[in-house]
Amino acid sequence: MEKSEVYNVFHAWLGTGLLTSTGQKWFIRRKILTPAFHFNILQEFVDVFNKHTDNLVQTLKEHNHPDYVLVDKHIAHFTLKTLAETAIGTDLKFATQKERSYRQAVIDMADILAYRMTRPWFVNNFVNLFSPKYFKERKTIKTLHAFTRSVITDREKKIKNFDLHGKRRLAMLDLLLTAKNVEGIIDDGGIREEVDTFMLEGHDTTSVVLGFALMLIACNKHVQELILDEIVDVMGELRKKPTFNDLQKLKYLERVIKEALRMYPSVPYISRKLGDDLVTATGYKLSKGTITHLHIYDLHHNPEYFPNPEKFDPDRFSPETSKSRHPFAYLPFSAGSRNCIGQKFAMLELKAVISGTLANFVLEPVDTPETVVLIMDFVLRAKDGIKIKFVARI
């Protein structure tokens, strides 16, 4: 249950929210937030997914480069705006300096935390005082916290007249504000921790897998055609706006996304402190309190579980193939009680944006799995971004 010391680098920004907390605090926060991802809530989000997919499509149509689009910035904006409007209840248009500063601050923190995590001495907060990036880190965190506080304050003003005791299901920030104002089990600092955590985890992890998935679809034309056939079969026409039920029925597209997450897991490793003594399958003994790293990227590329692991093959996740696989051989969202609380949200969002993008464009490869160079900050990324050619469908 307990995260290792590696996660200490997040504390100045995220505090001890759902990602980094443990014990009773983690249990209370998880209990507060779980209803935010009930399927009734997710159904209400589909219109937002569709709206921002339309905005992304329009942006891609207006892009004036004839050979390719460097997609990273565009899809990061899509996922950040989608998350903000659904879970947080605010509409980000990046029209103000405050909003642009926030997005840049997220990018800067990725660089700073990658610097610390790859220099273990700077994981220690005291030693980090002497880091050449320390003062930039403090300034960046100030920007991030100021933006988050303004979003929370704005939302709290808007829901003052809501019937918080009613049976209406609430989105994430509204649940947190209810827990504060009605139940008294969280304070302003706790709400900021959770909003910061979700603004990071809910948009960055989704944006990187979206980039890799679009690249893989562009490189595999037969897969692209099968997705299009499924969209028409489910929705009757290519450009119809999908409903929640439509997205649930896109089973082949779901396999494509799962295979993209196998090849490029957004979080390629996780770290835990053992709560009990453990003996591995090979007889190696690990004592309680040992820090362990679980390398998800390596697990997903293990030929024992995924033969020919560098091949993109969505049929690995057909019901027939999946049923014989060890349940913990595939961990893109972690597993157990600390699994990703937003995985259904992410899958629904990815289905909506990929189906909407393919309805408007033929994707042609520029970057390929052989040409991209992978790097890691707190998520897996392509070093120089991902380039894809988008050809408008007639």
- Which residues line the annotated binding site for heme? 340
Measured on CA atoms in the order 318, 245, 201, 327, is the torsion positive or negative? negative
CA nearest 6: which of 281, 276, 267? 267
- Please count the CA atoms within 13 angstroms of the CA of 138 that sit on its side-chain side: 8
Measured on CA atoms in the order 252, 253, 256, 262, is the torsion positive or negative? negative
Q: From the centroid of its chain, how far is CA 8?
A: 20
CA distance 142 to 105: 9
- Which H, E and C letters describe 65-85, residue by residue? CCCCEECHHHHHHHHHHHHHH
Token look-up 């042609």 returns: 364
Q: Are 367 and 50 in contact (CB under 8 A)?
A: no
Return binding residues.
340
Return the DSSP state at 284: -
Q: How many CB atoms lie within 10 A of CB 192?
A: 20
CA distance 82 to 171: 13
Exposure b/e, 284-306, CB count within 10 A at least 16 = b = eeeeeeeeeeeebbebbeeeebb
